[in-house]
Chains A and B, each alone.
Chain A
């Protein structure tokens, strides 16, 4: 297990050879990922009263606001095939998988602090354990969604079992962007703020809390790859089919490419960034 370090050594590796290495490295660090996940999980809730309750409070408040605005006639939500709270909550839950995932991964390297500069370990594990947190939050929120569905006596389509699989592209996109953003955050700390700004903006620009938009926003939505990645899983639960499967497939392919490119980029660049943190 001889390791040779030379300047630019990493850059000279072949693309496919190094992908194999990257996968092997990730596989060998799965215990570390689990440990980091447990560590952050324990640390997060040790000094908290409401604990995982906080995961649910956020979406409830956002949707409450939307219902309130809709009832007051300030906001036109549009037609939804199932009662609005159920529709919005499911969409928001999926969206938050993306937004919290992006925030967590962006901060993961910087938050690890001196660990990054003082210990040599696969830094990918920090990103992966962060996304695992968002997935955990997501699962908790899904429980809330199920309760709301039960309350309105909505019976989802049997195709809803495909729901978790349809989320995979969204997760890959989040991790991919997280790879780049976490590095960027090491260089400029503004990244954190930009990401939180961007995710709250995108929430309003993507048909998550409202149905299909018209006019200018419709044109934007067409190029917004988040939109099909969120709406396809939601439609499969509510209607049992995906109305714009072409868009979803294109978005999926783009997501996978973004993921592969960003992972590779992260792998190459991380040692150079880490030394400057």
Chain B
């Protein structure tokens, strides 16, 4: 079996800016087709433009492709072509499998019907049989997490509930290809993190293919291995997500600088906040750079905020002499809500821990990211050095400080 599940070959799609003219062109083309004349779709008529121009790419089975780009770049058009809603004007689209689309969540929901009734309708639209829905309805309701509201008309739902229900139905319809268009952005962050992302990972483990359009670059980076950057109807770049996303961010004026990260490459930084000071304090609060094993330390950074920041994240990475990452943590992973910081403020962030590392030289890197966790204000790579010493003999990369128990039988 071929592993290619989606294939675009020189695909172009045009749209018309004017509604009436668009209809007129449509009727004209149809009339030509009926009389067996090939409508010339390859040229632009007045008011028409290429929404997609000569787009080629392939997606393999089980892959996740992220699509990023500014508004109006043609991202949704690509999804609609995959879904079979649109036909290309040039080129060829091959899709091998059942497509589940989340292009607009809750499309087909009837506002007056209850959540439960809408599950049946929407499920049927997505190609589920009644039996299948009967079997899955409890899972769908549970995953959507809307409680008693399931028996209320969906017009009384909050935007988040609406999205959760729609998402839940779509993922339970077991498609081969799942198209996700920016919908998760509507759902609250909690739902994204707790439910959507794990569910998507679970689907990925089952071998489903996902095409994901989002402005949430953090989500793209966590979910997608490959990312395609689309702009003005053409594919600008395609490659590994980290690479493409940082290049994409660099294209904005907002990120004038780059930090070169040793294990990663260049990362665009905005300097909306800057790390102005850093260091290691021992248990007495004295700054040190030789740390005895077992010492209670605080590794701190001082961050100057140059532009108002909402819920940024602070993180540190400790690497050993071989530049291997020994430890990384950040405020996001530790569920620390950081707060809103006004321009000109200086934020002190301390990471308090007992050093149980083995003897040797270490470096610390610091980063300040926006609340998305993926675009950065500042990143200081391997900026702080410290040495760990031991008062007794140990070997290995850690000192677990074992308690040794002896007993005679």
A: which residues have CB within 8 A of B? Answer: 1-11, 31-32, 34-36, 38-39, 42-43, 46-47, 112, 114-115, 117-121, 187-188, 265, 268-269, 271-276
Q: How far, in whole Å, are A272 and B88 apart by their CA atoms in the complex?
A: 10
Query: Is B50 an interface residue, CB under 8 A from the partner?
Result: no
Cβ contact within 8 Å between B101 and A118 = yes
Chain B residues whose C-beta falls within 8 Å of the C-beta of A9 in the assembled complex: 87
- Selected from B22, B88, B90, B97, the residue in CB contact (under 8 A) with A276 is B22
Indicate the size class of the contact surface on chain B.
35 or more
- Selected from B87, B103, B124, the residue in CB contact (under 8 A) with A118 is B103
Interface residue SS majority, chain B? mixed
28 A-B contacts, Cβ less than 8 Å apart? Answer: A2-B94, A2-B96, A3-B84, A4-B94, A5-B81, A5-B92, A6-B88, A8-B38, A32-B127, A35-B123, A38-B121, A39-B121, A42-B112, A43-B110, A46-B113, A115-B107, A118-B104, A118-B107, A119-B107, A119-B108, A119-B126, A187-B27, A188-B23, A269-B30, A271-B85, A274-B85, A276-B16, A276-B22
Chain A residues whose C-beta falls within 8 Å of the C-beta of B86 in the assembled complex: 271, 275
B: which residues have CB within 8 A of A? Answer: 16, 19, 22-23, 26-27, 29-30, 33-34, 38-39, 41, 81, 83-99, 101, 103-104, 107-108, 110, 112-113, 117, 120-121, 123-127, 129-130, 153
- Decide yes or no: A7 and B89 within 8 Å by CB, A2-B94, A118-B104 being known contacts: yes
Q: How far is the CB of B142 from chain A (nearest CB, A)?
A: 22
Cβ contact within 8 Å between B95 and A114 = no
Q: How far is the CB of B185 from chain A (nearest CB, A)?
A: 16
Cβ contact within 8 Å between B101 and A119 = yes
Name which residue of chain A comes closest to B5, CB basis: A2
Q: How far, in whole Å, are A42 and B107 apart by their CA atoms in the complex?
A: 18
Cβ contact within 8 Å between B129 and A272 = no
Cβ contact within 8 Å between B33 and A8 = yes
Q: How far is the CB of A93 from chain B (nearest CB, A)?
A: 28
Cβ contact within 8 Å between A119 and B103 = yes
Q: How far is the CB of A149 from chain B (nearest CB, A)?
A: 36
Cβ contact within 8 Å between A43 and B113 = yes
Name which residue of chain B comes closest to A184, CB basis: B27
Q: How far is the CB of A111 from chain B (nearest CB, A)?
A: 11
A-B residue pairs, 10 tightest by C-beta? A35-B124, A118-B107, A118-B104, A5-B93, A115-B108, A120-B84, A32-B124, A2-B96, A39-B121, A187-B23
Cβ contact within 8 Å between A43 and B85 = no
Q: How far, in whole Å, are A11 and B32 apart by their CA atoms in the complex?
A: 11
- Decide yes or no: A272 and B87 within 8 Å by CB, A42-B113, A119-B101, A119-B103 being known contacts: yes
Name which residue of chain A comes closest to B77, CB basis: A275
Chain A residues whose C-beta falls within 8 Å of the C-beta of B117 in the assembled complex: 38-39, 42
Q: How far, in whole Å, are A3 and B92 apart by their CA atoms in the complex?
A: 10
Cβ contact within 8 Å between B85 and A117 = yes
Q: How far is the CB of B93 from chain A (nearest CB, A)?
A: 4
Cβ contact within 8 Å between A7 and B27 = no
